[in-house]
């Protein structure tokens, strides 16, 4: 029966069309952040960064650091909903001959995407030849211990109320905090959270950040996390530039949906970015007209990855970007997204 099929085809097409309209509406009203709000947040972050540079240079002139810099979605037009957070990258300088990196898959923990940083040549260059020896635990550079050094400084010895009053902000370290975070209130109803992110750039260009593994922190305490953020964000942007595509808007929609929906909070920007990059390998049409189709396909792909318990990093497939989720979290995320497939509009109501 041809006519029945045609009618349901048309109905499906109408639904897609209205989903598309809703996605754009939601994008304009909830996802995108006004330029002025972003500018104020960037300004506050920059003021804090400048103060910290002055303080660290004065107080610890021999701490081997490269210049700190700000980074994150606020700086790549990928932040969504509210301009409320940024990362302050703190690159440590390590002596090449004294430290080496070991990929997680070559250790007993067997976790690709994480690394150990081992102290070398202790017999010729004993402890305290490297400034960072003070953060050595069991022969390895401990990201936790590095964070503690900064925590003591930033939370303990900087007079934030005084600096805040000069800058006309209210600044306080967030306690307790897994990472080291400053809360900056830059207007009565506007807050910005700035995370300190110590960073190692290895000789081959690998970036390692001091952000602990979420599970079994004890056993994984010395692991540094490889960061793919710069490369994965650049790849997504380059693909959009080649064909005028909507991959970035699609990512921002997905990020906003996950931020606004408590059941999806556990999905982060990196997982969503990589799910889109993987989808790009199979799907070429990222025109505006295809947005609703691609958005649905992204949800479906995520359900599939969750069912498999595995989301490979597009830039390094051995890395499983779901490896820090518990089985229960995987189930809950999968269930929520599976239900959303039959009512995607439900994700856009808040």
Q: Is 271 in the site for ligand GDP (CB under 6 A)?
A: no
Check residue 72 and report its DSSP letter: S
Identify the residue among 119, 213, 229, 266 touching ligand GDP (CB under 6 A): 229
Q: Is 41 in the site for ligand GDP (CB under 6 A)?
A: no
Identify the residue among 87, 101, 142, 336 touching ligand GDP (CB under 6 A): 87
Q: Is 266 in the site for ligand GDP (CB under 6 A)?
A: no
DSSP one-letter string for 208-230? EE----SSSTTTTTTPEEE--HH
Identify the residue among 30, 79, 101, 261 touching ligand GDP (CB under 6 A): 79
With contacts defined by CB under 6 A, name the span among 17-25, 77-85, 122-130, 180-188 that binds ligand GDP. 77-85
DSSP one-letter string for 296-342? HHHHHHHHHHHHHT--EETTEEEEETTTTS-HHHHHHHHHHHHHHHH
Say whether 92 sits in a helix, a strand or coil: strand
Q: Is 211 in the site for ligand GDP (CB under 6 A)?
A: yes
Selection from 143, 130, 101 nearest residue 118 by Cα = 101
Identify the residue among 23, 41, 72, 240 touching ligand GDP (CB under 6 A): 72
| Pick 155 or 258: Cβ nearer ligand GDP | 258
Q: Is 30 in the site for ligand GDP (CB under 6 A)?
A: no
CA 237 vs CA 27, 77, 134, 232, 311: distances in Å:
18, 11, 40, 9, 21
Closest separation in Å from C-beta 92 to ligand GDP: 14
DSSP one-letter string for 125-163? S-TTSSGGGGGEETTEE-HHHHHHHHHIIIIIIS-HHHH
Q: Is 73 in the site for ligand GDP (CB under 6 A)?
A: yes
Q: Is 249 in the site for ligand GDP (CB under 6 A)?
A: no
| Pick 119 or 220: Cβ nearer ligand GDP | 220
With contacts defined by CB under 6 A, name the span among 96-104, 153-161, 205-213, 283-291 that binds ligand GDP. 205-213
CA distance 211 to 261: 24
Selection from 158, 131, 157 nearest residue 145 by Cα = 131
| Pick 230 or 308: Cβ nearer ligand GDP | 230
Q: Is 209 in the site for ligand GDP (CB under 6 A)?
A: yes
For residue 181, the surrounding DSSP H or E stretch is: strand 180-187
CA distance 197 to 65: 13
With contacts defined by CB under 6 A, name the span among 42-50, 70-78, 90-98, 313-321 that binds ligand GDP. 70-78
Identify the residue among 213, 235, 247, 255 touching ligand GDP (CB under 6 A): 255
CA distance 274 to 257: 17
| Residues at the contact surface with ligand GDP, assessed by CB under 6 A | 71-73, 78-79, 85, 87, 197, 207, 209, 211, 227, 229-230, 255, 268-269
């Amino acid at each position: 029966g041809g006519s029945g099929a045609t009618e349901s085809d048309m109905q499906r097409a109408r639904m897609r069309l209205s989903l598309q309209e809703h996605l754009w509406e939601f994008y304009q009203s909830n996802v995108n952040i006004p330029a002025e709000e972003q500018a104020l947040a960037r300004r506050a972050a920059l003021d804090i960064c400048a103060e910290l540079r002055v303080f660290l240079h004065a107080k610890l002139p021999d701490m081997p650091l490269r210049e700190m810099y700000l980074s994150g979605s606020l700086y790549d037009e990928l932040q969504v909903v509210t301009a409320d957070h940024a990362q302050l990258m703190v690159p440590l300088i390590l002596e090449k001959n004294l430290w080496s990196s070991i990929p997680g898959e070559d250790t007993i923990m067997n976790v690709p995407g994480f690394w150990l940083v081992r102290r070398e040549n202790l017999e010729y260059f004993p402890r305290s030849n490297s400034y960072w020896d003070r953060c050595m635990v069991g022969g390895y550079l401990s990201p936790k211990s590095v964070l503690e050094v900064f925590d003591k400084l930033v939370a303990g010895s900087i007079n934030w109320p005084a600096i805040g009053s000069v800058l006309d902000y209210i600044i306080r370290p967030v306690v307790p905090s897994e990472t080291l975070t400053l809360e900056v209130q830059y207007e009565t109803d506007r807050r910005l959270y700035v995370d300190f992110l110590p960073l190692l750039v290895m000789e081959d260009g690998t970036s390692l950040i001091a952000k602990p593994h979420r599970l079994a922190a004890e056993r994984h305490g010395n692991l540094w996390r490889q960061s793919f953020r710069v490369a994965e964000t650049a790849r997504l942007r380059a693909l959009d530039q080649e064909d005028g595509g909507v991959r970035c808007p699609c990512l921002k929609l997905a990020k906003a949906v996950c931020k606004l929906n408590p059941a999806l909070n556990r999905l982060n920007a990196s997982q969503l970015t990589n799910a889109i990059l993987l989808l790009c390998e199979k799907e070429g049409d990222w025109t505006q007209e295809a947005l609703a189709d691609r958005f649905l396909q992204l949800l479906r792909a995520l359900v599939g990855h969750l069912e498999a318990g595995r989301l490979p990093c597009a830039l390094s497939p051995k890395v499983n970007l779901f490896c820090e989720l518990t089985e229960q979290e995987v189930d809950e995320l999968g269930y929520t997204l599976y239900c959303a497939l039959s009512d995607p509009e439900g994700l856009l109501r808040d």
